[in-house]
Amino acid sequence: MRVVVLGAGGIGSVVAAHLARAGNEVLLVARGEQLAAISAHGLRVRGLAAFRVELAAAETAVGPCDALVVATKTPDTKAALRAVAELEPAVAFSVQNGVLKNDQLAEAFGRERVLGAITMIGGTRSAPGIVDFTLDGVTVLGELAGPVSPRVERLAAVWNAAGLQMLAVDDVAGHEWAKQVLQAGVSPLAVLTGLPGHRLWGTPALATALVRLLREAAAVAQALGVELTDYDGYGFDVRAVVTEPFAAAVARVMRRGEQLAAAGKTDIVVSMLQDVRAGRRTEIEETVGHVVREGARLGVPVPGLTLACDLVRGIEAARGQSGLVTEV
């Protein structure tokens, strides 16, 4: 399969490396030092997998391909898509955070080519040409409307054969919003505390705050008519956390933190916290900000999310990060 991966950050690099190692024809769209390092020495993966692979890398991609995988940061999407403006993908999907990405891809390539997707893969680009694979979570893929199709099944087979996990589903909107609900709480808390994932989930006061934020975000999804999935591959069953008795929900979140610690997965740093530490612009507007704006539009109170969003915005402004453009 010929696959173009747009974005050579943590997730894009992990995906491209695994697909290339499995024998797929992969082109990784990158820039700057990352492009130079990969072109000269290949791409090295560390952490949950350890290997180095040779693969093609370039600043642009043109012509036909079987699939385009978008893995840039959400603020950079429109600018990044210019690098693939002359690409002709049979299908395109984004593993970016948030729920705005599908409309952007539809505008670029036509809605009939777009699939819905989310990922729980975690990766950090630690140096040019080197990525640390920190979380081997599932990627979910599905048609924007309708049951699992042959093209979704084929992509899932290729992804799984490469050593990554992909689940083909017929309710991808419920999965995308479950991830958005989870991120709306976790990302601001990570930025405000500076803590890794297992500490966020495993600390009683933070688990309590997280459940409150998740329930606000879930109320927005409900107002939009979206039924959250009960799939637990995002660390825990998000739908259960937002519907079961409050104390049970906190206990469920804390168990996840304890499981991560017991498994030695103590280096999971939420991408928004990675961005703040690196002085990059965060995805606060496209993710948590979107939920806050939708809450205001629909008349759904989201006071906790509003405060968390404003605090992250303030941190960006105070550190001079607003408006910075990240490297693809």
CATH of the domain at 235: 1.10.1040.10
Residue 291 and residue 202 in one domain: yes
Decide if pLDDT at 15 tops 50.
Answer: yes
Single out the residue in 117, 145, 170 at which a domain terminates. Answer: 170
Decide if pLDDT at 116 tops 80.
Answer: yes
Query: Which residue would you say has higher pLDDT here, 321 or 17?
Result: 17
* Banded model confidence at residue 265, pLDDT cuts 50, 70, 90: confident
Residue 151 and residue 300 in one domain: no
Decide if pLDDT at 274 tops 90.
Answer: no
Residue 73 and residue 96 in one domain: yes
Single out the residue in 121, 155, 170 at which a domain terminates. Answer: 170
Single out the residue in 120, 145, 170 at which a domain terminates. Answer: 170
Within-domain flag for 328: no
Q: For the chain, where are the alpha helices, taking DSSP H only?
A: 10-21, 32-41, 77-81, 101-109, 150-161, 172-193, 197-202, 204-223, 238-243, 246-262, 271-278, 288-298, 303-318
Residue count of the chain, please give it.
328
Structural domain tally of the chain?
2
User: What angle (nearest 5°) sits at the alpha carbon of residue 81, between those of residues 51 and 321?
Assistant: 80
Of all residues in the chain, the percent with pLDDT exceeding 70 is 98
Decide if pLDDT at 103 tops 70.
Answer: yes
Residue 138 and residue 19 in one domain: yes
Burial class (CB in 10 A: 0-12, 13-18, 19+), 179: buried
Residue 61: the pLDDT is 97
φ, ψ dihedrals at 195, nearest 5°: -100, 150
Within-domain flag for 249: yes
Q: What is the pLDDT of residues 40-69, one digit of tens each?
A: 999 999 999 999 999 999 999 999 999 999
Contacts of 187 (CB under 8 A, 6+ apart): 97, 270, 271, 272, 273, 283, 284, 287, 288, 312
Q: What's the sign of the alpha-carbon dihedral 248, 140, 135, 30? A: negative
Residue 281: the pLDDT is 87
Structure tokens at 302: 């989201």
Instruction: State how far Cα 32 lies from the chain centre.
Output: 23
> What range does the domain containing 270 cover?
174-318
Decide if pLDDT at 310 tops 70.
Answer: yes
Q: What is the CA radius of gyration of the chain?
A: 19
Q: Do residues 96 and 71 make contact, with C-beta atoms less than 8 angstroms apart?
A: yes
Which of 187, 213, 211, 207 has the alpha carbon at shortest distance from 312? 187
Decide if pLDDT at 323 tops 60.
Answer: no
Mean pLDDT of 99-107: 92
Mean pLDDT of 96-102: 89
Within-domain flag for 326: no
CATH code, domain carrying 117? 3.40.50.720
Q: How far apart are CA 134 and CA 46, in angstroms?
A: 9
**DSSP state at residue 172:** H
Decide if pLDDT at 322 tops 80.
Answer: no
Q: Do residues 157 and 168 make contact, with C-beta atoms less than 8 angstroms apart?
A: no
Residue 321: the pLDDT is 55
Residue 121 and residue 234 in one domain: no
Within-domain flag for 90: yes
Query: Which residue would you say has higher pLDDT here, 317 or 250?
Result: 250
Please tell me whether residue 164 adopts helix, strand or coil conformation: coil
Structure tokens at 46: 């560390």
Question: Which amino acid type is present at position 288?
Answer: V
Residue 166: the pLDDT is 97
Q: Which residues pair with 94 in a beta bridge?
A: 70
Burial class (CB in 10 A: 0-12, 13-18, 19+), 160: middle
- DSSP β-ladder status, 56-58 and 130-143: unpaired
Please tell me whether residue 91 adopts helix, strand or coil conformation: strand
Q: How far apart are CA 65 and CA 242, in angstroms?
A: 40
- Tokens 């950050």, residue? 9
Q: What is the pLDDT of residues 123-180, one digit of tens each?
A: 888 899 999 998 888 999 999 988 999 999 999 999 999 999 999 999 999 999 999 9
* Banded model confidence at residue 325, pLDDT cuts 50, 70, 90: very low
Decide if pLDDT at 327 tops 50.
Answer: no
pTM of the model: 0.85
Residue 187 and residue 295 in one domain: yes
